[in-house]
Amino acid sequence: MSWKEERDLLIAQTMAFVQSVTGKLPDAPLDIVAKPVLAAAPAVESAPVQTAKLHPAEIVTASPAAPPKDVQVGIQIPRTVVSSDFRAEILARVANFRAHQQRFTREREEYFKTTLTKVRTAIEDESAPDPSDRTPPRR
């Protein structure tokens, strides 16, 4: 069997499964009958899949009120409001970043001042003659 035929069978199986799960009828008739093909093992037929039909009243949801019986119920995930949490977190991170940058600025300025003081001290010491460096005058 070629890869194209295998692909078409896989698509047909997937569409049949999706339609059996959703309960929809096929949009177009499927021309390909999906049968499992095994190279070395004997072919194994599977039993048809039966879908479980649940009445909307049997579905357990997180909401306290039961939905009307004629309304189709889906899975509902409650959406939490987190915009204020995001805003607070962003403001806290910005404040932390600013404090960090101010600390770096202070440390950089302090380092600059101490280094400049050391350099000025070294220059002043160089301008004054050192008695140990004197050479005796020639005669």
Please provide the DSSP assignment of 57-92 as one string: GGS--SSSSPPPTTSPP----PPP--HHHHHHHHHH
Q: Does pLDDT of 61 surpass 60?
A: no
Q: Which of the pair, 112 or 84, is modelled with greater confidence?
A: 112
Q: How far apart are the first and last CA of the chain?
A: 113
Average the pLDDT over 82-90 and give the result: 82
Contact 23, 49 (CB under 8 A): no
Q: Does pLDDT of 66 surpass 80?
A: no
Angstrom distance (rounded) from CA 88 to CA 75 = 31
Contact 39, 59 (CB under 8 A): no
**Of the candidates 30, 9, 26, the residue with the CA atom closest to the CA atom of residue 18:** 26
Angle ∠(38,43,47) on CA atoms, nearest 5: 120
Contact 43, 36 (CB under 8 A): yes
Lowest mean pLDDT among 63-67, 96-100, 111-115, 131-135: 63-67
Average the pLDDT over 30-51 and give the result: 56
Specify the pTM: 0.31
Angle ∠(123,129,134) on CA atoms, nearest 5: 135
Angstrom distance (rounded) from CA 127 to CA 133 = 13
Average the pLDDT over 16-34 and give the result: 69
The pLDDT assigned to 103 comes to 96
User: Mean pLDDT of all residues in the chain?
Assistant: 74
Above pLDDT 90, what percent of the chain? 31
